[in-house]
Structure 1
Amino acid sequence: MIKQYIEKIEKNNIVSKTDIDGKIIFVSDAFCEISGFNRNELIGNKHNLIRHPDMQNENFKKMWDTILNKEIYKGTIKNLSKNKKAFYLNTIIFPILDKKDNIIEFVALRYDITETFIANEKLEKKDKELKKLNLMLEEKVKKQTMELLDLNKNLKKRIQSQVEKSSKRERIMFSQARLASMGEMIGNIAHQWRQPLNNLNITLYKMKKEFNEDEQKFNKIYNEAKNLTKKMSDTIDDFRNFFQPDKEIETFYINETIDQAYLLLEKTLDNDNIKISFNTLENFKINGYPNEFSHVLINIINNSRDALKDKKGEKLINIETKAFHDKTLKECLHISITDNGGGIDDEIIDKVFEPYFTTKHQSSGTGIGLYMCKQIIESSMHGSISVKNKNDGACFTIKIPL
């Protein structure tokens, strides 16, 4: 019974036996089939006949140390068939002992795992290839990303540099053209204005010399006219000085400057039935250019007058001053000039400080008034000026550092 069992095992499994020296003394049909050798070629030879060159000596040393120590060896061995084809066998080798516990032979049972092993090898190879490819892609993406970031950074710098150069060049050209144009215009005004003023002064002098009746009343009229002509003359100088970089800053009181601006416009406002009020709790003292600041007030009030003169009903302009804390300017003087002239169209309110922008006819407006106001407040007095619609009119806000 045992003999039959052994025969069936040997017939259907990859079995071999060797003597104590490792020479083959038996092989099963399955062994011959997988190796490609017949029994006559195998019997008497060692298993080196089917040893694959990939198998290192260390593997076989370990195997022999194990079985000579009367222990069972288990391992996967790569072999080479007669037709030079590799095959893989899961191998179990155990010694056969006699009654005296001496080794008389070795039996090796093997199981073919070639297909599984090759499939695993292919999978491992693909896995390594994929890992290598993935690593290459990561490096490539990283490299491309760095190149794109550098390119974007350099491009951004170049664009920013070009924009700054272009903007600076345009601003310089723009300012030069506008300043040259305004300077020429003001020079012409000055030339044509002074002669009539001189003639007016001569006429007033002659009138005083020849006038004998009600001298007190005449002197009052004469002094008003004299002050007006002086103010007109000063205005010309102020406009001309506006373009000079070496102007000296003065300390002045805001209330006096507002009063001077009002005196120049009083008769014009009265003729149009426009009431102007002034609210303040303190006579603030600021540093800057009083005459230029007066022009700003006159210009804004004149704009309010233009908006009010054809209005029916009550016509009001209110000037209010107060101390104010601004995020940018810190402690400053806050001046608001408000009218009830209907306000400014929302579509153009953001453009009113642009040079040569005007809603008036060319004969009555050049479009430089509010532009010059902005230049005076921001460039000369380091403040800010803005406008918004409030209630039923426009409200100009000026902030000057205290």
Structure 2
Amino acid sequence: MWGGLWGESLKEKRSIYKNENLNSPSGHVKLKNAMAVVVCDNEKLLGQFVVANKKGGYDQSDFNIGLMIADTMRPILKFWTEDKFSKELLNEKREELRQQLLKEMELNRKQGQILFEQKKFVDMGQMMSAIAHQWRQPLNNIHLIMNSIEKLHEGEKVNFDFEELSRLHKETVEFMSNTIDSFRDYLTSDAKNASFSVTKAIADTVNLITAQFQSQNVNLSFYFQDKYMSIKSDTVNRHLDIDPLDDLIYGDIGSFHQIILNILSNARDAVLEYRADNPGEGEVNIFVVPEDDVIRITVQNIGNPIAEDVLPKIFDPYFTTKEDGKGTCVGLYMTKMFVEDGYKGKIYAANRSDGVEFVVSIPKDIKKGL
């Protein structure tokens, strides 16, 4: 393949000069003399240059000059060949990584969807239990109202007149209907982004679980800045004069309900665990505090602190400190996904002197608030 002086030089990776007995390739200028100098890095051939037909021929002095030129060219050719190879290899690896990343992203998306659906089925069972607690008192009220109406019909005296009984009946049915509406919104699978009130969304979620908390003797309190929003037996007092600019966020309200429910459920479980060794009432507090560009939601519970080596792991999928069979192991992981991916917000947990707090910061929907 390689012939003549330069072919011999390349094959043997050595520099050569000759002043006679040279074979000129067909169609090439006749060679009287020639010098081929290779540029090598150890045993690696980097390049070659050839000169020919010097008047009087080549000697050792010319050869030494050629070697000096080769020494000068060596680092340049080494850098050029390695850089070219590195760029090609880098581009190849970059494309491989890009394809792998796309596959991993798609896999994570599918796994996230599976986790989401699994969590929703578990939540559905929990919410049905909450509704059972929530409806117990209203159903009892309806029973008492019907008894009173029956007594009125029979001419007996009761503590309420018919109009009062009708009003109580209407309020009770409306409350039960609102509970179903909240339940439906919570479980909706179609994510619809819109601007909504943080306090109302939290109140709607609290309405679903208030009776359950009360049945377990866990006090649940709700504050907007320094304003106490009392939680009564059947409703949340949310008739406060709140600036819309400090109360609106943008996103899927269904996922926001899940964020609040997951954190509150986790706080309640922590209280019940703590109370097993410390009898008495438990306490969970919700604080909503508007800041410059975000709305900060803090849920605090009285209870045992989270171990420092466990704290960084609580948002990992399938990580739990609960007993086997309790919890889904993905509740806080899904909560973190909703906060960060759905709302571009932040969430963290921290120990307090008397328990634990979860803090969620979500950007305000400033355009709607203006």
Q: TM-score range by the shorter chain?
A: 0.5 to 0.7
Tell me, yes or no, if the aligned pair for 2:183 and 2:208 is still in contact at 8 Å.
no
Tell me, yes or no, if the aligned pair for 1:286 and 1:401 is still in contact at 8 Å.
no
- RMSD over aligned Cα, in angstroms? 4.3
Counterpart amino acid of 1:255? Answer: T
**1:133 partnered with 2:81:** no
2:285 is matched with 318
Tell me, yes or no, if the aligned pair for 2:185 and 2:254 is still in contact at 8 Å.
yes
Which of 299, 306, 314 does residue 337 from structure 1 map onto? 299
**1:348 partnered with 2:310:** yes
Counterpart amino acid of 1:306? Answer: D
Counterpart CA distance in 1 for 2:112 and 2:92 is 29
Cα distance, 1:272–1:319 mapped onto 2, change above 3 Å: same
Shift of 1:131: 0.7
Question: Who wins on radius of gyration, i.e. which is larger?
Answer: 1
**1:174 partnered with 2:111:** yes
Q: How do residues 1-400 of structure 1 correspond to structure 2 at under 5 angstroms?
A: 124=61, 127-182=64-119, 208-211=145-148, 212=151, 213-215=158-160, 226=173, 229-241=176-188, 243-245=189-191, 247=192, 249-252=194-197, 254-270=198-214, 271-274=216-219, 276=221, 278=223, 280-281=225-226, 283=242, 284-288=246-250, 289-290=252-253, 292-309=255-272, 310-311=274-275, 312=278, 315-325=282-292, 331-400=293-362
Shift of 1:171: 1.5
Shift of 1:286: 0.5
Tell me, yes or no, if the aligned pair for 2:319 and 2:330 is still in contact at 8 Å.
yes
Counterpart amino acid of 1:358? Answer: T
Shift of 1:141: 0.6
Extract unaligned runs of 5+ from structure 2. Answer: 1-58, 152-157, 227-240, 365-370
Extract unaligned runs of 5+ from structure 1. Answer: 1-120, 326-330
Q: Percent identity?
A: 18
1:62 is matched with none
Shift of 1:170: 1.6
Shift of 1:164: 1.6
Counterpart CA distance in 2 for 1:373 and 1:239 is 14
Q: Deviations over 1:138-172 (max 9, x none)?
A: 34313322233213421341233133222222223
Shift of 1:251: 3.0
Shift of 1:222: 6.5
TM-score between both structures, scaled by the size of structure 2: 0.57
- Structure number with greater CO (CA < 8 Å, separation at least 6) is 2
Cα distance, 1:168–1:296 mapped onto 2, change above 3 Å: closer
Tell me, yes or no, if the aligned pair for 2:225 and 2:288 is still in contact at 8 Å.
yes
> Counterpart of 1:147 in 2: which secondary structure?
helix
Cα distance, 1:273–1:176 mapped onto 2, change above 3 Å: closer
Tell me, yes or no, if the aligned pair for 1:383 and 1:398 is still in contact at 8 Å.
yes
Counterpart CA distance in 1 for 2:219 and 2:136 is 32
Counterpart CA distance in 2 for 1:236 and 1:362 is 28
Counterpart amino acid of 1:317? Answer: V
Cα distance, 1:185–1:333 mapped onto 2, change above 3 Å: closer
Counterpart CA distance in 2 for 1:202 and 1:317 is 27
Tell me, yes or no, if the aligned pair for 1:377 and 1:383 is still in contact at 8 Å.
yes
Counterpart amino acid of 2:199? Answer: N
> Counterpart of 2:357 in 1: which secondary structure?
strand
Tell me, yes or no, if the aligned pair for 1:386 and 1:398 is still in contact at 8 Å.
yes
> Counterpart of 1:249 in 2: which secondary structure?
strand
Counterpart CA distance in 1 for 2:213 and 2:135 is 26
Counterpart CA distance in 1 for 2:100 and 2:325 is 37
Q: Deviations over 1:105-136 (max 9, x none)?
A: xxxxxxxxxxxxxxxx86x4564143133135
Counterpart amino acid of 1:145? Answer: E
2:9 is matched with none
> Counterpart of 2:85 in 1: which secondary structure?
helix
Tell me, yes or no, if the aligned pair for 1:274 and 1:305 is still in contact at 8 Å.
no
> Counterpart of 2:291 in 1: which secondary structure?
strand
Counterpart CA distance in 1 for 2:300 and 2:185 is 26
